[in-house]
Amino acid sequence: MSSSSSSLLSQTLKIGIVGFGTFGQFLAKTLIKQGHTITATSRTDYSQLCDQLGIWFSRDVLAFMEADNDVILICTSILSLSEVLKSMPLLSLKRQTLFVDVLSVKEHPRNVLLQVLPQEMDLLCTHPMFGPESGKNGWKDLAFMYDKVRVRDEATCSSFLHIFESEGCRMMEMSCEEHDKLAARSQFLSHAVGRILSEMGTETTSINTKSFETLVRLKESTTKDSFDLFSGLFIHNRFAQQELMNLEHSFQMVKQKLLKTMNEEQNPSKSNHGLDAS
């Protein structure tokens, strides 16, 4: 990219964050570092924290909507999206605004936002494939998925995407559907396995192998996210249910193979006689 186009892309933006929980706060720190002007609204009162960060905050969504934002960045939980949008007087917006969501599922917010947003509003659906833990030492080489669902103001959209480009993210443009297929097979699966390990009470031992340490880390990182987030990955990704069934089926297959081998080992004379191993 030439330096002139790069400086064009890096114009500062007025960004209003809706949902100032863990992930909203995490993103805000980098947005502030880059010089963008941030306002925020949330169900919980974050005014003290926002004062420290230099962010204008109001729990009153009407007052928030009156701020003249270029971008409204939706960082609420997947499960609360529809309820939060219902509370926003979207029709009262006076100027064309770019709506961006960062939810970890993509077809659901795309469909809901296309339904409720006025026609003049642009929509960029995104999923930063990292969080406060994996992104704590910077975002270099971490994947950033996006789908320009309805973008007419290319300049504002490019400036927003530049936030992530300039931090060194791997920019992955793909459809919301493609994202949800891949994310069910990767992110949902890893969260499901992490939650299963947590149910089992998996803890570090004095003789950990490297692979076991990977499992302990998986349990720890996935259970740091809220249960709302995990259930959102399941309920609002239409591909996740199949992955859960695959996981269950594969577990049964492995179990049967083990029991069959054990039977053969313990009863060599009866092996290959079709014993039910389940």
Residues that bind ligand NAP (CB under 6 A): 19-24, 42-44, 75-78, 80, 83-84, 102-104, 128, 131, 225-226, 228-229
106 contacts 147 by C-beta, under 8 angstroms: yes
Q: Given the complex with ligand NAP, which of 23 and 146 has the nearer CB atom?
A: 23
What is the smallest separation between the CB atom of 108 and ligand NAP, expressed in angstroms? 10
- For the chain, what's the residue count? 278
Q: Given the complex with ligand NAP, which of 197 and 229 has the nearer CB atom?
A: 229
Closest CB to ligand NAP: residue number: 131
* Range 115-121 contact pairs with CB under 8 angstroms and sequence separation of 24 or more: 116/85, 116/86, 116/90, 117/90, 118/90, 118/91, 118/93, 120/96, 121/90, 121/93, 121/96, 121/97, 121/150
Q: Given the complex with ligand NAP, which of 12 and 44 has the nearer CB atom?
A: 44
Q: Given the complex with ligand NAP, which of 226 and 263 has the nearer CB atom?
A: 226
Contacts of 153 (CB under 8 A, 6+ apart): 96, 98, 122
Q: Given the complex with ligand NAP, which of 51 and 248 has the nearer CB atom?
A: 51
What is the smallest separation between the CB atom of 260 and ligand NAP, expressed in angstroms? 41
For 213, other C-beta atoms within 10 Å of its C-beta total 12
209 contacts 234 by C-beta, under 8 angstroms: no
What is the smallest separation between the CB atom of 80 and ligand NAP, expressed in angstroms? 3
Burial 129-138 (b: 16+ CB within 10 A, else e): bbbeeebeee
> Residue 209 and residue 269: Cα distance in Å, rounded?
36
* Alpha-carbon torsion (208, 209, 215, 221), positive or negative: positive
What is the smallest separation between the CB atom of 81 and ligand NAP, expressed in angstroms? 7
What is the smallest separation between the CB atom of 143 and ligand NAP, expressed in angstroms? 11
Structure tokens at 123: 């929509």
> What letter does residue 176 receive in the DSSP assignment?
H
Q: Given the complex with ligand NAP, which of 174 and 259 has the nearer CB atom?
A: 174
What is the smallest separation between the CB atom of 125 and ligand NAP, expressed in angstroms? 12
